[in-house]
Structure 1
Amino acid sequence: MADKVIYATYDDEQVLLKGAKDLVSKGIYIRDVYSPFPIHGLDPIIGVKHTRIAITAFIYGCIGLLLAVFGMWFFMIQDWPMNIGGKPNFTLIDNLPAFVPISFEFTVLLAAHGMALTYFLRNWTLPGVKARNPYPETTDDKFVMELHLHDNHDQSEAELEEMLKATGTTRIEAR
């Protein structure tokens, strides 16, 4: 049997925020909230964990720095050394101050692009992938709370719907 999902629609984000606090204080697990804009303070209430994308940005930045330094050493010193403006390129250490801007820019380039690609892959928001949004109204003016019966096995569907009605929801739909 498939897991039954309950969607509660709200007209106001403050009503949804207060309702989420009430439900979580009663032990109800809220799977997700769909809204047209971020709701400040909702993440800690429904238990959304902090993202680890900063760690991936650091890793991609380190890879960018290593590739930049290796590339500059190989192209400017090993493969094709040139005397540019009276500054001979015989060692990397002698020319390191000239390589700092290039290293910085390549580090930022790889960190930003790697972070963006990681975000797209992690959230599966790629071209051609169907968006997972149960209510198209959430992109305009509605707020939807998603609860799964499996996550809240202590309560029945009727009990969950009664609790949701008490929070000020405008529409409840079970699928």
Structure 2
Amino acid sequence: MSDHVLAWLRELGAREIAHPGGTLLAHLERVENLLASWGARPALRRAGLCHAFYGTDGFPRALLPLARRAELAAVIGDEAEEIVYAYAACDRTASYPTLACEEAAFRDRFTGHVHSPAPWLRRDLAELSAANELDLARIDPAFRDAWGAELRALFERLRGLLSEPARRECRTVLGDGEG
């Protein structure tokens, strides 16, 4: 499946789209590999590889329009596509402050709808967010310098949703915030 997804990403131009640390394709592969190193289940790893298909709040360039969600689901599975959609739809400013709360107020930036995602999806969103941001912080010192303190604070708030390997990676890449 991964080979098919990689071929599709190349066909959609991800190899030519500039992104911190090289290309969008290189970033997507690093995120998938980071999630795999944390022991993430296959659906979350596939979502990591595809997390930018619809663009994101931080990277608006979409590879596919939302009208083609069924095509992505047919390739990576419904569960992985649901994670990709939620990650793309996440209005970070509105959603991140309460994501760790049982009754999170998740705002869909595409529809404006506010709801509380299931616990498993909140955990996946936190884990994928950590993998995405930590990849950028590791590969781009200027990004880490500009956003490191804010990311440390975010991941501390999301601590209960993150796996132990993700928490360790946060400390390794971002430091502990002391000194």
When the two structures are superposed, what TM-score results if normalisation uses the length of structure 2? 0.19
Computing the radius of gyration from Cα coordinates, the structure with the larger value is 1
Q: Which structure dedicates a bigger proportion of its chain to helix? A: 2
